[in-house]
Amino acid sequence: MAEQEQSELWADANRRLLGDLTELSIAAVKETSGLLADLQRSSLDALREHQDAMLRWHAMWPELVSDPLRWYQTVLLEGVDTAQRTFRLMGANVRALSQAVDRVHATAEQAGQRVQETLSSTAARARETVRRAA
């Protein structure tokens, strides 16, 4: 009788543990998918920005012959502007990654607490079952 109770007890604990770990895995997959979508959107924005910059650079070449100092000033300003846009995009990617990691971390902590509670309660119930059987 005690062995049957022990088996049922640990089977229930395994079911709850698998449920908690499955929830954690699902949350991680959802978060990863969202993060990848954000990064892909950001990459497309960067590509569009790169294409626009190339068109602006192409339009500046005739100015090199007519007014080299103005061309140099325009190229310098364009370079600084492009660098600022690049850093803004990188910052947005870092923020998205950080937020995703924070959300997965919180979910993992909750799952860890539930696993710990499950194992603690199951161990206590198993000791009680053994004590009653003895």
Q: Encode pLDDT of 50-109 as tens digits.
A: 898 888 888 888 888 898 999 999 999 999 998 999 999 999 999 999 999 999 999 999
Residue 1 has pLDDT above 70, yes or no: no
Nearest to 86 by CA among 37, 46, 36: 46
pLDDT of residue 103: 95
Give the confidence band of 134 by pLDDT, cuts at 50, 70, 90: confident
* pLDDT of amino acid 111: 95
Which residue's structure tokens are 């998205």? 96
| 2 sits in which H/E element | helix 2-66
Residue 67: phi, psi to the nearest 5? -150, 85
pLDDT, position 63: 85
Q: What's the structural domain count of the chain?
A: 1
First to last CA, the chain: 12
Asked whether the predicted pLDDT for residue 128 surpasses 80, the reply is yes
Tokens representing 92 are: 């947005």
Q: Which domain holds residue 71?
A: 2-133
Q: Position 63: which residue type? A: E
Q: What would the mean pLDDT of 6-35 be, rounded to a whole number?
A: 94
pLDDT for residue 37: 95
Average pLDDT in the chain: 92
